[in-house]
Amino acid sequence: MVINLVLRVRANRTESLDWSGAASARRLLMPARETEAIILKTFPLGEADRLVSFLGRSSGRVRGVASGARRLKNRYGSTLEVLSHVQLWYVEKETRDLVRIQQAELLESFHKAQSDYGLSTGLAVISEVSELVLPEHEVSEPMFRLILMAVREIERTGDWALPLSYFAFWTVRLGGWLPRFDRCAACDSPFGVQPAFYGAQQSGLFCGKCRRPGMQVLHHEARVLAERFTTERLDRVALEPAMQGSAKELREASLAWIEFHIERRLPTRELLETA
C-alpha cells in the first residue's frame, strides 16, 4: 500500500514560498530522506494532521508531521498504526524539530495484534518503553530488530506473554541495566536455586536475607528463562504452560528495572490485559 502525500506537500511548499524568504527557499532544496521505520506513537495534530514518532533504521527516533493523515485515514489504513513496519520518506526542516513525512508504505502488517484489544495492550507497552528509552536521532539496530521481532511474534502467536517478557528483558540488557543474576547485590552470596528479590527503588537482585519489605520475587526458573533469552532467538522459544509464571516474573522485574532507570512509571504496564 502506497500513500502518497506529494500533492499536498507541493501545495504547502507553494504556500511557504509566499510567506517567507530565504529560509523556506533553502528548505525546498533539502532532499527527501528515506528509511525503514517502526511507528512508535501517533497523535492527532490540528484538524487534519498527525504527529508521528517513529524509529527509523537509519535515522533513530524522530518525530514528524504527516499532513492530511487524519483526513486521509481510510487511504492510510494501518500504515501509521502503532508499531507498523513501514518505509518512510520525509524531509528535515532546518528550523524545527519535526520532520515532514511525505510518504509511507506498509512493509509488514500487524493487523491482528493492532485490532485486538488484549494484544494491543502488549503493543502499547512496547511502544511506550521504546519511546522512553531511545534517545532522539540515535540509530539503534539492536532495538530496531528487538521491537520488530517481539511484534512479529505477538502477531504470529496471538499472545504477548513471551514476546513482552523477551522484549523487556532485552531492553534492560541492551540498556546495560541488567543486575547480576547469580549473586546477591548486597552480600554477594550466590542464589543457587533459591529465590531472588527485586524492588522498585533498587537496581539489583537480592537474596532472602537481604530482601527488604515490598520486594518482589524472581524464582530460579525465571532466571533460567533469562538465560535462555540471552542465547536463543525469541521465535525459537516455545511458550509451554509451565513457563507462564516465569515469563511473568521476568517481565515484571525487567519493567521495574526500566522504570527505575528512566525514573518514571509506565502507565501502560497497568493496562496489560490478556486476549
Shortest Cβ distance from residue 175 to Zn ion (Å)?
24
83 contacts Zn ion (rule: CB under 5 A): no
199 to 238, contacts with Zn ion by CB under 5 A? Answer: 207, 210
271 contacts 121 by C-beta, under 8 angstroms: yes
88 contacts Zn ion (rule: CB under 5 A): no
Strand, helix or coil at 22? helix
187 contacts Zn ion (rule: CB under 5 A): yes
Shortest Cβ distance from residue 210 to Zn ion (Å)?
3
- Per-position x/- string for 5-44, each x denoting binding to Zn ion as judged by CB under 5 A, each - no binding: ----------------------------------------
185 contacts Zn ion (rule: CB under 5 A): no
Q: Contacting Zn ion (CB under 5 A), which of 98, 149, 186, 224?
A: 186
Report the residue number, 207 or 222, with the smaller CB distance to Zn ion: 207
184 contacts Zn ion (rule: CB under 5 A): yes
> How far is the CA of 158 from the CAs of 28, 129, 172, 248, in angstroms?
45, 21, 24, 16
Spatial CA neighbour of 154 closest among 110, 108, 107: 110
Cα separation, 258 vs 173, in Å, equals: 10
Please spell the DSSP secondary structure of 196-261, one letter per residue. Answer: EEE-TT-SS-B-TTT--TTPEEE-HHHHHHHHHHHHS-GGG----GGGHHHHHHHHHHHHHHHHHH
Report the residue number, 101 or 215, with the smaller CB distance to Zn ion: 215
Cα separation, 184 vs 190, in Å, equals: 6
Shortest Cβ distance from residue 199 to Zn ion (Å)?
13
Q: Which residues bind Zn ion (CB under 5 A)?
A: 184, 186-187, 207, 210
